[in-house]
Amino acid sequence: MTEASRLIFRHRFSTRLWHWINVITVIVLLMSGLTIFNAHPRLYWGHYGANFDPAWLELPRFPGWATIPSMYNLALARKWHLAFAWIFAFGLLFYMVRSVWNGHFRKDVALSSSEVAPSHLWDDVKKHARLDFHSEDARYNPLQKITYSLVLFVILPAVILTGLTMSPAMNAAWPWLVELFGGRQSARSIHFICAGGIVVFIVVHLLLVVLAGPINEMRSMITGWFKVKGKAL
């Protein structure tokens, strides 16, 4: 028996397009968001929070190389953040609708009852520990499905809704948003936590791409085709 490889079509065009738009959009949002955070690097719970109120988190200001713009300019940072927030939000909406329409969520992301069984999940954990990330048909494994579902259906909608909650215009139009998150300061804290979750996801994602084979992974996200190994006589 010898090892043979074959190409499998893994990512639809809509998935690839959304991925690369998000690469740019999320970087700009995170970096401009750090400039906005630098205006008051303290986080509170509830409706109000100011210099003399107890903060649950206080951080030093982020350096210029990590922010957009690189110098402190709150007005310009807000313009960058708002412009790319609309791209991010409508891109997510388009991707969600498209993924329901073409069956991507049902075929590739939805978990079967067998996949959520503790024994199956534990086997998947052991495979990741052995750096064995892909099945023969290059489908997402259970841990990937759980992670993507958490990001797609919890973290990303939460970061968008909390961003809207912090907007005075949206407070007037949709006052229920403020109550939903327990106040504008709570929304700001949740927004920051979700952004941190996105950063953690990106770091882990990039690490796994490197460990799984960056050339093959990049090919699949550029062309859609993923190379898998199989047995041949």
Question: For residue 225, what are the contacts with CB-CB under 8 A and spacing of at least 6?
Answer: 7, 8, 9, 10, 219
Domain total in the chain = 1
Model confidence over 130-148: pLDDT tens digits? 776 665 555 778 888 899 9
Query: What domain range includes position 141?
Result: 2-232
With bands split at pLDDT 50, 70 and 90, how would you rate the model's confidence at 179? very high
43 against 118, higher pLDDT: 43
CATH number at residue 74: 1.20.950.20
pLDDT at residue 169 in the model: 82
Q: b/e map of 156-165 (b: 16 or more CB within 10 Å)?
A: bebbbbbbbb
Q: b/e map of 176-189 (b: 16 or more CB within 10 Å)?
A: ebbeebebbbbbbb
Torsion of CA 178, 184, 187, 192, to 10 degrees: 160
194 against 13, higher pLDDT: 194
pLDDT at residue 127 in the model: 79
At which residue do the structure tokens 């397009």 appear? 17
With bands split at pLDDT 50, 70 and 90, how would you rate the model's confidence at 1? very low
